[in-house]
Chains A and B, each alone.
Chain A
Amino acid sequence: MAAKKYSFAVGEKGFLMDNVTTSGQSDVILETQGLTKHYGGVHALESANFKLRKGEHVAIVGDNGAGKSTFVRQITGVEQRTRGDIIFDGQSVNFTGPLEAREAGIETVFQTLALADDLDVPDNIFLGREMTKFDWLGPFRILDYKGMRQATIDGLNRTAVKIPNIRNTIRYMSGGQRQCVSIARTASFHSKLTIMDEPTAALGVQETTQVEAIIKALKQNGEPLILISHNMRQVFDLVDRIVVFRRGRICGNLRREETNPQDVVAYITGAKTGKEYEATAL
């Protein structure tokens, strides 16, 4: 088994580097061109052209069934697109599964939390990329529990997530705590792109604040983010740009400073459509 080397980013020096170095090559981290997904006769996503710059936080909003989650599932390799191109970090990519997307540097918090109930917090955060000793033992290499526990505490401290006892199994935690673990895991590793699909949908006020704090920490560290959310206040608090989906198409691309919640709602409901999208709007 080839031991993969992941650097645990939070709490390390490398992580504290200055924001977004956009010098050199392109500053676009993710681009989709004509991304389309049909489920049989249902056109869930139609010719989505989307761009995300390095260090940029973008919200994807839209009604239920507008194609937001479908869009994310194509990017993260959970599903295979019908047609179109995905260019990630300067390269055309074709992920056959979520694992490949993750290895390429796309971390996703899915609506269904991918946590193992019977393991504790550090185990979950490091699942699949454990810190180990004696790597020559292959699958029987020894877990570095101490290192993982310390890194978890550092990471949770940095992201302001409070979990009283990280050595308890996830099974005994509240929905909010589970969500925090899930997000802390995503935020803990050096990823090139983080995607969160309704991270606060099931959370209380206090827990939502924590999640938002994590997102702000990502912004400070210059890590790009795609946030799917129904919460207008949250969207305006957190992101630079808002992309509106309606009926499987992008119908608006709005800078936060140039718009307001009422305006965004108008786009969501179809009362307004971005100029550049008028030709294709339904």
Chain B
Amino acid sequence: MADTSHGTGGLSFDKSKKTWPSELNILLALVIIIVLFEIIGQVAPYMRGQSFLFDTKDRFDSIFNEARLKIIILQVAIIGIIALGVTQVIITAGIDLSSGPLVAATAMIAMSLAQTELVNGFPNPKAVFGTWAMDLPLVIPVAAGLLFGAIIGAINGMFIALFRIPPFIATLGMFLICRGIALWWSGGNPISFPTASYAFIGSGMMPVVWFVLLAIIFQFIMSFTVYGKHTYAIGSNEEAARMSGINVKRHKILVYTIASTLAAFAGVVLSSKAVTAQAGMGEFYELFAIAMAVIGGISLAGGRGSIIGTVLGAMVIGVIRSGFTYIKLDGSYQLIAMGAIIIAAVVLDQWRQKNTASR
């Protein structure tokens, strides 16, 4: 239809206003950061010509330093699972601060139902419940954890959608409540010694498998289903969504429920990976999850961003963490750099909005 627009007065269309997908920007940033680390590794005298990305000592079959690549993605996979849910919340122009403590509370609840009765022939020293709760089938602790997450999410959503509590406040309250539940569940004691099947969920590269699998599923859902379309519509113009007949309240409750269920699953994976659950787990996870989404181009104003963006945002955080360790810089610098990148990402988002809000 492009040619029919000629000579139709105000209906000419400026093709240059077509933006390229913001995911490409993040991918570009990711590549630049990797190249920077590579250059520092090659040039800085104290690095003695090491490589960030490549296998210089011939330890692996491929040309890449597989160990580093694995660590990069493994250390962001669990928070990445949370970020998939937070992404959806932010697309509705909301926020979820409760995910970190929810991870801890879920880890405690799930682990307490996943304990094994005998450890090396002796009764489990960390037993929370009696023998009835020992060696239960895998589905019980996992289902209990996910159900707990879903309930917390539904409560978040109800306060936000029905009582119009600002998402920041509602989830901040839930942040404290979940940390309290995590502490209360076992009186502050760690819970350990899970069954072999439970320990498998987070073993080895399994967190990455879950992260990638869930990312693919939710990218599909956000792009190709009514759920995804309504999520974007609500974030883009809530009033228009309501006028169009979307049940905005019900949809928001669903989004927060899904987000918290994903965070709960992250709690299950984390406790399985650590083979223990502690009330202090998941500290700052909610903030890192939000950071991944924001770096990944999810607009805090709602309506824009994608799961792919968040996955790339997670990769940026993973690369920076790994890279700073690689160039032997202290953890304090990591935090400073990451903070700067988060702010830069938001500034870029604002700048993009300003430049594209043409009428």
Which residues in A have some Cβ–Cβ distance to B below 8 Å? Answer: 4, 98-99, 102-103, 110, 113-119, 123, 127-130, 132, 137, 139-143, 145, 153, 162-166, 168, 171-172, 174-177, 203-207, 210
Contacts and interface: CB of A to CB of B under 8 A. Distances in A.
Contacts of B53: none
B237 A115 contact: yes
B332 interface: no
- Interface of B: prevailing SS: helix
B1 A130 contact: no
Given A204-B10, A207-B9, A172 B225 contact: no
Given A139-B226, A140-B221, A118 B11 contact: no
Sort chain B's interface into a size bin: 35 or more
A176 B9 CA distance: 10
Contacts of A174: 10-11, 359
Contacts of A99: 242-243, 245
Interface of B: 1-2, 4-5, 8-13, 17-18, 221, 224-227, 229-230, 232-233, 235-237, 239-246, 251, 254, 303-304, 356-359
Contacts of B11: 162-164, 174, 176-177, 206-207, 210
Given A117-B236, A145-B224, A172-B18, 10 more contacts: A114-B240, A116-B240, A127-B241, A130-B229, A137-B225, A162-B1, A162-B4, A165-B2, A172-B17, A176-B10
Given A139-B254, A172-B18, A114 B239 contact: yes
21 contacts: A98-B243, A103-B245, A114-B237, A116-B236, A119-B229, A123-B233, A127-B233, A127-B246, A130-B226, A132-B226, A143-B224, A162-B1, A162-B5, A164-B2, A166-B1, A171-B356, A171-B357, A174-B359, A176-B11, A204-B9, A206-B10
Contacts of A103: 245
A119 B225 CA distance: 14
A207 B237 contact: no
A41 B17 CA distance: 49
Nearest to A172: B17
Nearest to B19: A172
Contacts of A141: 225-226
